[in-house]
Structure 1
Amino acid sequence: MQFTLVDIWNHTGLFARMIIFTLAIMSVASLVVMAERIIVFRKTRSDSRNFAAKMGAILAKGDLATAANTNLGKDVGHLGRVINSGLTAYRINPGNKDLAVESVARALERQAQREVQSLKRGLTVLATVGSTAPFVGLLGTTMGIVNAFQLMAAAGSGGLGTISAGIAEALITTAFGLLVAIPAVMVYNFLQGWVDARAVDISESSNEFLDVVARHVGGGAQSSHAA
């Protein structure tokens, strides 16, 4: 037996092939999640930046009435959906300062949690693949080594030459497990870091918007009392 992938595959047993097929499915699942999340993240980042540029110019003037009635479409990204939830809460509030600020704050918090959870969708697949793939490969290796020693016992002869082919067959499953796990772990860490950064952006933007609402409602209340 030559130690090439083709020869090793041809000499692998049923259990080792099942392990390799399992790892292949795990690899495909992680690749699908990687591609889908990267596409979603790029789009929501672009949409959020566009929303921030347009809505920021309106909110900079403190014109909440115009902002609340401005429709920038559906593609506003994660940031736009959070701020729009706050604008909706402001539009339907009864006008009391404390109630308005509290209502807007709750709306922002609820939508922020939804957006963060939405951004995390699928990351558990990468975490699961990254943590379990090496153990799946190790299972194949363990059973392969057991089979190699069983063959050596059945043949009645020992030595490395007798079991080298079986050990090579066994170790290949660990190699496949690592090849599947390493990219999954690396991409998971990258995407998780990206989500954490967006969560900070959402929190900061929500607080800035809440400050605008507090100033606007407080100013309106003072004007009302002066009149």
Structure 2
Amino acid sequence: MDATAVDVAQAVEGFSFLALFLRADWVVKGVMCILAFMSVWSWAIAIDKSLQLRGLHAKAKNFEREFWSGRSLDALADQFAKNAREPFSRVFAAGLREWKGAHPGGRVAKAAGAEAGRQLTDTESGLGVLATIASSAPFVGLFGTVWGIMNAFRAIAASQDTNLAVVAPGIAEALFATALGLLAAIPAVIFFNTLSANVAKYAARLDGYVDELSALADRDEH
């Protein structure tokens, strides 16, 4: 029983993640490294975008509370427009530049809308990378799988032996590449969908403010 237990332990250790990586040839190792990098990159983007959007929502809430507090337009301009740092303040500053003069309503809406579009483009940065990782990682892993299976068949042909001990290592390396591809792709899909919904919520909030700012300019005109 002790000898059998030792054999089983050695077999399990031989198929550990580290052992599979070290035993793989340079192509499969390259695929695994690429997939590991893609996974880390997607997590880094997800954490960064989550923190960024949380901060943007908090600043938007503070801006809306101050904007609708009944203060004068000049006081709001002094607080937000002169040193605009976040999207709502920059949209307000862009609209304010067109507020003076005759018929400001349309110009305010156009200027504020254009600035809102630029701010949303910045907010959406990184989502394209997540989408690329989500769609490409399984195929990168599949390439590693196909290459590993080809190596397994070459090993069978060279040894002229279909024993499981000959076939298993190559198949295990191939399947490990597939697993890494899924490990990179599945979180990236979840991150992309979650962050896209959050960005869409923020975009709706910002577009609503553009409409409100334009309506204020129209009322001021009349």
Instruction: Please tell me the TM-score bracket, short chain as reference.
Output: 0.7 to 0.9
Contact 1:43 1:77 in 2 (8 A): no
Residue 170, structure 1, aligned to residue 182, structure 2: no
* Deviation at residue 134 of structure 1 after TM alignment: 0.8
Alignment of 1:116-131 (within 5 A): 116-131=120-135
Matched residue, 1:77: 86
Counterpart AA for 2:40: V
* Deviation at residue 149 of structure 1 after TM alignment: 0.5
Counterpart AA for 2:189: V
Contact 2:98 2:107 in 1 (8 A): yes
Local SS of the residue matching 1:71: helix
CA distance in 2, matches of 1:192, 1:87: 30
Identify which range, 138-147 or 195-204, moves more after superposition.
195-204
Identify which range, 155-164 or 18-27, moves more after superposition.
155-164
Counterpart AA for 1:152: I
Cα deviations across residues 59-117 of structure 1 (Å, max 9, x unaligned)? 6xxx44554x4323746632222122212221xx32x12xx111101111101101110
Contact 2:149 2:171 in 1 (8 A): yes
Where in structure 2 are there 5+ consecutive unaligned residues? 1-10
How many residue pairs match? The answer is 209
Matched residue, 1:42: 54
Contact 1:50 1:76 in 2 (8 A): no
CA distance in 2, matches of 1:10, 1:201: 51
Aligned alpha-carbon RMSD (Å): 1.9
Identify which range, 157-166 or 81-90, moves more after superposition.
157-166
CA distance in 2, matches of 1:140, 1:53: 54
Matched residue, 2:15: 3
Matched residue, 2:202: 198
What fraction of aligned residue pairs are identical, expressed as a percent?
31
Identify which range, 7-16 or 74-83, moves more after superposition.
74-83
Q: Are residues 83 and 202 of structure 1, via their aligned partners in 2, closer, same or farther at CA, if it must alter by over 3 Å?
A: same
